Structure 1
Amino acid sequence: MSIENLLQDVSTAVNARRGAIQHHSEILLKDVFQRVSTLRQAKRRFADELAPDFHFFDYLRSDELGLSRCLADLLDPIACDKHGKHGQGGLFLNTFVSHLSYSLKNANLEKWATTAECQAVTLEHQTNQGRRIDILIRFSNGGLIGIENKPWAGDQVNQLKDYANYLERNSTKSKWLLVYLSNRKPGSESIDSHTINKLQENENFLCLTYQDAEDLLQTAAQKTRSVRVRVFIEEMIKFIRTKVSGETDMSEQQEIQNSVLSSAENLEAAFLVAKTFDSIKTNLMCKLRSDLNKKLANKPYCLENNERFFEGRGGNDVGFKFFDCKMRTRLVIGFESSWFRDFFVGIASYNESDLTDEESELIRKIMDKIIDVSEPYGGIYPWWIYGDRVTVFGEGFRHWQDDAKPWVAINDGTLIEKLLEIVDRIYEVLKDQNALLCHDGLVKNIT
């Protein structure tokens, strides 16, 4: 066989393989779509009886602090006349400590971390260095358990190392434990691997996932005597499962699994599709940036580039700078948390000291009228709001990691239209107001 014929045979085989993969992927995706669509139709038909999309936590504070508060209240056995707000006494704390003891293989933990010895459970406990431990459980025998709750945000520099040092200094006879609750490993910038290994050897550090948290809550719920508390825990588990761990609805998940496992070809296609998702998101974010720059070519404002925003990193935003408004503020879109979570729209100053309290309040009043009431004021953002509360975006536009809607909107161009509709509205208001905030710091013509 000649080399040319060999290369031709190889090329034919490769093309045939590619065609087969594409064919099976298309079959899988169509089957999944049909199964899930049928299930959703059934849900809509019985929505008046089952209310499948009605979740308590949609109406509560659902950020990191809100989740920490729920966990802290459940773990507190002494509030409200020594029974806890939940009325179940030490049920949740005992279940939690028992799991920690089993995971650490440390029976001694259950001897000092008891309900009888529990002195206080505090939220956002401030350390000597000004940091805040999400949850601190203090025991009268000098023991301490600190819980760092990381559902979405990344770690800060030396954060866990500082927490460990604080717990060690303020506890008695090494009766302390730092629990890192996250679906990710601790960041190396927060604590180095050598320190982690040493702490784990001394049984002072433990990583828990949110799957562990779900299991603990489920175990405790089965023993809970109060129906109200049991329902609350079940809703909390659903929230963690969908909003933190990013799982789909359980019934939808089962239908998808049935489709994927129905044949070897479907299973292989599913793995190939899953492996491409990160690159799909990267390509779509590149498309978003490119489309934005093209659309802004004839607009009276431009895009201030920030590569970290387009990578979905938390704590990063990208701004729209108005040419004819000499302002110290700009309209921004950003992700408060990493991995494309907590998408928000806001007005930001370039420096925290740029705006007085009066100026920030005036910005909030104007923006509340244009869009909606702001989330709590913070730092350089006098006004900001999560994406799912912006009418033109709607449901699904807060946690991009867990929902297809933002990505579909990027791909078909509707996200650009929605976004520029907001920018244009704000620009017109600012222009009519003769510039909201001028460089001389004077607020002009604001009504």
Structure 2
Amino acid sequence: MSTVQNLINNVSQKVKALEAAQALYSCQLSPDFNTFDYIKTDELGLSCILAALLDPQGSHAQQEAFLRLFIEHCLPSMFETSGRQNFLDNIEKTKVFVEQVTSKSNSLRRMDIYLECQTGDDSYGICIENKPYAADQTNQLIDYYDELKTRGHTDPQIVYLNENNDTPNPISVDPLTLKGWIDMKQYSHLRFSDLIGWLKACQVECQNHSVSEFLAQLIKFIQKQFMGIEDMNEDNAVLDIIKKNAATIDASIKVSNTVDRMKKELVAKLKIDLLAKCKKTDYELDVTYLGEGKRYEQIRFIIPGYDVGWVCFEFDNANFDHPILGIKFISTDAARACPYTEKMKSVLNTVLTDKKVNSSSQWPAYYYFYPQDWKGSSEAWLMINDDKMADKILDEMDKVFKVLKDNNCFDL
């Protein structure tokens, strides 16, 4: 038997053994329980959680410890400019706010997390733009930077927090301006996975058991939601097998090199299944924008005579991960001009009671399609292989289309 086959068999056996153990001791371990399954974890919810931890006056009662550790672990560039020493010496005076409305005329922009610290004549301001799911908007980061300047902060700090992009979209801040911020140490890019080190450091310094357990649950949530790690025990067990010797390392690389190809072949199968099973005549199924694994690849339900948008299934992350489903417009201007954008979200929220319907600049109404984790879990890929995924996508697309059509949301 080949080394690759041996590796797959050993991993499969180890995973089955772990699953059996978890089932046997589930009452003691509660492996699937996580506080964050019962907490609002949309963009606003995550902003509130992070702001509460960063606040020196927060109910965690650890004073400025968490904020100081955040700067040390996540914003090391803060220490590279001598002019910020006054802020670092008076960090306990920092005030933290969520959803701060900007002063820009006719703008509804809100800074997700805003930190300010006044020490004598010096004023320091940090804007954390939290982007767990939504897309960037036109001039968004530029407006926030200008807002910090307007508020009298002589050394504004912009922190862009997301997981998958190396830089913000150029529509939010042009590359030349961004380079200027970076050169002045006024910009930091931060991934959600980067927060793990900070949160673990907070656990070490935390003197309260309840708060420490909350931090542990938050770490577990980030690992699952943004890093695709469902179970660290399983992950570590598989890693031990892979690292066993040179042969298993070589075999694991060979397996890894075929995973992307396997996913693309299964997506190709999904496209064939969708086209074969779609029987609707009041819209056209378009799968031409799906197949390479690029971010924002999508399946469209094109509505004849309706040229401003379409019902859409789209992968929010690259490599076929984190799909969303809803109504998408051809542009933010088209969405803004449509008189039914608010109605679309309202009627879907009313009918789809098992979904949390959100909205963004180009998506008047969308929700996160289950299963969400196509990167770290096999569930979605097994559904494609078993001919179940096409039915699920078509059923949900049909339902969204019907609700919007029955409520006259497609009237032009």
Q: TM-score normalised by the shorter chain: which range applies?
A: 0.7 to 0.9
Match for residue 121 of structure 1 among 85, 93, 97: 97
Indicate conservation of the 8 Å contact 1:74/1:92, yes or no: yes
Alpha-carbon deviation of 1:97? 2.9
Aligned to 1:137: 115
Cα 1:399–1:301, aligned 2, differ >3 Å: closer, same or farther?
farther
Q: Give the Cα–Cα distance (whole angstroms) in 2 for the partners of residues 379 and 208 of structure 1.
A: 23
On the 8 A contact 1:374/1:383 being kept in 2, the answer is no
5+ residue gaps in structure 1?
Answer: 1-19, 78-82, 389-396, 443-447
Deviation at 1:381, TM superposition (A): 6.2
Equivalent positions of 1:346-365 (< 5 A) are: 346=326, 352=335, 353=338, 355=340, 361=346, 364-365=349-350
Equivalent residue, structure 2, for 1:47: 26
Q: CA RMSD in A?
A: 3.8
Write the letter of the residue equivalent to 2:36: F
User: Matched residues in 2 for 1:56 and 1:126: separation?
Assistant: 33
Give 2:382's aligned residue: 408
Task: Provide the rounded CA distance (Å) in 1 between the counterparts of 2:364 and 2:179.
Answer: 43
Contact 1:285 1:311 in 2 (8 A): no
Aligned partners of 2:290 and 2:297 also within 8 Å: yes
Which of residues 60, 81, 91 in structure 2 aligns to 1:86? 60
Question: How do 1:268-347 and structure 2 match up within 5 A?
Answer: 268-296=250-278, 298-300=279-281, 302-305=283-286, 307-308=288-289, 310=291, 317-320=298-301, 331-336=311-316, 340-346=320-326
CA apart distance, 1:46:
0.5
Q: What is the TM-score with the length of structure 2 in the denominator?
A: 0.80
Alignment-mate amino acid for residue 135 of structure 1:
I
CA contact (8 A) 2:323 2:372 kept: yes
- Secondary structure of the residue that 1:53 maps to in structure 2? coil
Q: Distance in 2 between matches of 1:132 and 1:105?
A: 27
Distance 1:277 1:254 in 2: 20
Deviation sequence 1:101-124 (CA, Å, 0-9, x none): 745543553421433432443335
User: Which residue identity does 2:241 align to in structure 1?
Assistant: S
- Displacement of 1:375: 2.2
Contact preservation (8 Å) 2:113, 2:128: yes
Change (3 A) 1:332 1:137: same
> Is the CA contact (8 Å cut-off) linking 1:72 and 1:121 kept in structure 2?
yes
* 1:28 corresponding residue in structure 2: 7
**Where do 5+ consecutive residues of structure 2 fail to align?**
none
Q: Is the 8 A contact 2:315 2:324 kept in 1?
A: yes
Moved more, 246-255 or 100-109: 100-109
Kept after mapping to 2: 8 A contact 1:340/1:399: no
Residue 115 of structure 1 aligns with an amino acid whose one-letter code is I
Write the deviation string for residues 317-360 of structure 1: whole angstroms up to 9, x where unpaired: 5343578x999996543345555444234466886425386686
Match of 1:9 in 2: none
Q: 1:400 to 1:216 in 2, by over 3 A?
A: same
CA distance in 2 between counterparts of 1:327 and 1:188 reads 25
Offset of residue 152 of structure 1 = 4.8
Match of 1:393 in 2: none
SS in 1 for 2:406: coil
Provide the C-alpha distance between the structure 2 equivalents of 1:418 and 1:128, rounded to a whole number of angstroms. Answer: 44
CA distance in 1, matches of 2:409, 2:72: 60
Contact 2:64 2:91 in 1 (8 A): yes
More displaced stretch, 314-323 vs 104-113: 314-323
| Kept after mapping to 1: 8 A contact 2:264/2:293 | no
Q: What SS class does the counterpart of residue 229 from structure 1 fall into? A: helix
Match of 1:4 in 2: none
Q: 8 Å contact 1:345–1:384 — kept in the other structure? A: yes
Normalising by the residue count of structure 1, what TM-score does the alignment of the two structures yield? Answer: 0.74
Residue equivalent to 1:177: 157
2:87 is matched with: 112
Q: Identity over the aligned pairs, expressed in percent?
A: 26
Map Cα deviations across residues 375-395 of structure 1 (whole Å, 9 max, x no partner): 24667767644323xxxxxxx
The amino acid across from 1:109 in the alignment is R
1:436 and 2:410 matched: no
Measured after TM superposition, the shift of residue 48 of structure 1 is: 0.8
Q: Structure 1 61/317 Cα, relative in aligned 2: closer, same or farther at 3 Å?
A: farther
